[in-house]
Each structure stands twice: as structure tokens, then as C-alpha cells.
A and B are shown apart, each in its own frame.
Chain A
């Protein structure tokens, strides 16, 4: 199970919305290959999110609790690549 979190302002600005759309698209592509993915939207200005990630550039994208992209919109292919990388790194540890 891969947790993908899109971190942006609330209400979503256009850039955050685009990032979320791309993340969902990437999740869809990977789900076809049988990867389980949960995409969530977090509010960058909330206390919990700041204390957890400390990101100050939106939109940001975290995969399995690690911030990978900040301050730009990643395209779906790139998100797929990031998630695959995370899976590969996880396999090595096991």
C-alpha cells in the first residue's frame, strides 16, 4: 500500500488542483498493474501538516511520508516514476 499525499492550500488553488489531478491519474495507471495506492489531499496551512512535513512551497507531493516534490506541478508520468522508485527502494530493504 502506497500513500500519496498532495499538499496544497485550502481552498485549492489551480496549481494544487492540477497536482491532485495528476496524482489521481498516476494512481489509476499504477492500479492497473495491481499496486494499491491511496491519494489524499492535505491542507498545507494546517498545524498537523506543518508539524509533520514542514513544507512551505505548494503544491507539494509526499509519497509514503517523504516529501518528493515541492513548489511545482509534477506530471502523471513523473509521479508514476516516483512511486515505482519508492516501491523498489522498499523491496531492497526487505
Chain B
């Protein structure tokens, strides 16, 4: 068998193992194959964040709505799912003049299509799904942003938060030599790894047990066809799957027999998971949050179905 970056064990391999050994075997299997792509993903995320031209983005931030949408969609992939990078950008887009539409677009785009998730989706599941994921997330993010910007409650929040005369104070960033910038990038990679990996390992342990106990016929019955897409889109969201774990769990379910279309819906459930909604509701209120959750959910069902039809089999 060719060398693969994804875990290779099938659920059958877990059935005979003693309970305590299941997570160890799964993590070992995962890490022995996946460490290189995890390493690459974290390093890439850290370096890219360091080298993004921050002063330019800051300057064009609040200019107008079109720029806002373009920034939200174009910049979001370079931001990892860390509150340190997400919340300032979200509130920045919201307050600084671009308004609530681009802010929502960014909020939906960032967790669904950032470098870390795309690299991992590509390496672990398939590059086809990773690319489809980017495009579908982009479309849903912009539609949701546009719709909310035109609702009465969305407009109300926008007016409330609009900063009058958003005058940008002088920004004169200190120039840093290249070697220090690289070090900073690596430091940020390490920071991200420290933030994310604990959840990641807990997720792996859970997935190990899912593989051990979830019978294949249940997955085959319920997670295929149109019903599979519906179920996957519903549990993929509110069921809190910490960052990146949804990818491994998705891979596990795929091996157990979930259809690829249902897998796409499952992956797209990420932006409307409960912790994300809670964080956003503090800034933009529940009404807008529920609106975008509904649009994102419909989007994940529609695109899951379309993808299923295109690849020739729900």
C-alpha cells in the first residue's frame, strides 16, 4: 500500500482491542502518518499570519462595502481559528465602516476555510472536498452577509455600531528584520499548536471510541443518501466539534460508510456550532446569529446535495 498521510486503521482493527488501548492505538496511528501534515499546517499558518501586510489591510479596512466583502472573503483564509485573530477582525470590519454584511461573511468564512482546516481536509480526507469546501463556504458566507445586512435587525445593529467619522490614527509600525519575522512566525505556530492540540487529542480519543463502537450498518443506513446529508448537517453544527476534530471524525465516519456528500455537509456545519454562535451573539445579538445559522445550515444541505449529484451518488 502506498504511503498515506491519513490514519490507515479501519474500524475492524479496533473491535478486538482492549478498551484502554483503543485511544493509544488510534493516536499512534494518526500521529505516525499525520504529524508531517499537522506540522506543515501549523508552520504555514504561523508564517502566513506574520507576513500578511497588516498596515495595508488596516488602511483599506473601512473604506466601503465592496472592499469589505473582498477583504472578508480574501483575508479570512489566512486567519486561524484563534480568538486573538478572529474577534479583532470581526469587530474591526463591523465597526470601521464596512458594516455587518462583510463582518458576517468573515465570521463564516474564517473557521470554514482557513489554511489549517483546508490543509488538513486536503491531506486527511481529499483535496477535491477541500476545494469544494472553500468555494461553497465562500458563497454561503457572502450570501449570509448580504441577507443579514438587508434585514431590519441587521441594519439596526449596523447603525448602532457605526463609528462616526472613523478617523484612522497614525499607524507607524516598527520595521522588523527578516530573521526576527521568521522567528515570530514560528513562535505563533507554536502558540497555535499549544492552543489547538489538546482539543485535537481529546478529539482523537473520542474518534477512536467512535470507530470502536459505532456499528457500520448504522452509519451506512443513516449517513447516506439525502437523509444522510440532513442528519450530517444537523449534527455537524450544534454538536460541538472542536476545531479540526470534525475533520478526523469526518474521516472516521467516511471509513465507516458515510457518503461523501454527507461528509461535505458535515464539514460545512462548522461555522454554526454553538460556541461560535455564543461568541458572535455577544456582539451582534441572537437574531442575526440565528439568521446566519439558518442560512449556513440551508447552504450545507443544498451544497451537500449538489455535490452528491455531481459526483454521481448521494
Known A47-B163, A57-B58: A66·B170 in contact at CB below 8 Å: yes
- Cβ-neighbour of A56 out of B57, B164, B165, B283 (below 8 A): B57
A13-B83, A14-B191 are contacts. A45–B91 as well, Cβ < 8 Å? yes
> Could you tell me which residues of chain B, from 141 to 171, have a CB within 8 Å of some CB in chain A?
161, 163-171
Given contacts A14-B191, A70-B54, A72-B188, contact A52 B84 (CB under 8 A): no
Main DSSP-derived SS at the B contact region:
helix
Question: Once the chains bind, are B84 and A66 in contact (CB under 8 Å)?
Answer: no
Assess A15 versus B191: contact at CB under 8 Å? Given A9-B83, A72-B184: yes
Contact of B84 among A9, A62, A67, A74 (CB under 8 A): A9
Q: Which single residue of chain A is at the shortest CB-CB distance from B195?
A: A14
Q: How far is the CA of A7 from the CA of B52 in the complex (A)?
A: 19
Do A44 and B96 have beta carbons less than 8 Å apart? Answer: no
The reply to whether A59 and B163 form a contact with Cβ atoms under 8 Å apart is: no
With A and B bound together, what is the CA distance between A15 and B90 in angstroms?
Answer: 18
Over the window 39-80 of chain A, the binary record of Cβ atoms lying under 8 Å from chain B Cβ atoms (1 yes, 0 no) is 000001101001111111111001001111111111000100
Q: How far is the CB of B39 from chain A (nearest CB, A)?
A: 21
CB pair A67–B170 under 8 Å, yes or no, is: yes
**Which residues on the A side are within 8 Å of B54 (C-beta)?**
57, 70-71
Q: A90 to chain B: closest CB distance in Å? A: 14
What band does the interface of chain A fall in when counting residues whose beta carbon is under 8 Å from B? 20 to 34
**Measured CA separation A16–B87 after assembly (Å):** 13
- Tell me which residues from 41 to 86 in chain B have a Cβ below 8 Å from any Cβ of chain A: 49-50, 52, 54-55, 57-58, 61-62, 82-85
- Of B49, B92, B191, the residue contacting A55 (CB under 8 A) is B92
Question: Is there contact, CB below 8 Å, between B169 and A45?
Answer: no
Residues of B within 8 A of A67 (CB): 169-173
Residue B178 is within 8 A (CB to CB) of chain A in the complex:
no
Q: With A44-B88, A71-B54 known to touch, is A51 a contact of B161 (CB < 8 Å)?
A: no
B88 touches A53 (CB 8 A): no
Contacting residues, chain A, for B92 (C-beta < 8 A): 44, 50, 54-56
Is A82 an interface residue, CB under 8 A from the partner? yes
Nearest to B87 among chain A residues (CB) is: A9
Q: A44-B88, A47-B95, A54-B96 are in contact. Are A70 and B83 (CB under 8 A)?
A: no
CA distance A68 to B300 in the complex (A): 42
Residues in chain A within 8 A of chain B (CB atoms): 8-9, 13-16, 44-45, 47, 50-59, 62, 65-74, 78, 82
* Interchain Cβ contacts under 8 Å between A and B, 27 examples: A14-B84, A14-B191, A44-B91, A45-B87, A47-B95, A47-B163, A51-B163, A53-B169, A54-B61, A55-B58, A55-B92, A56-B88, A56-B89, A56-B92, A57-B89, A58-B87, A58-B88, A62-B169, A66-B171, A67-B172, A70-B55, A70-B171, A72-B184, A73-B184, A73-B187, A74-B174, A82-B174
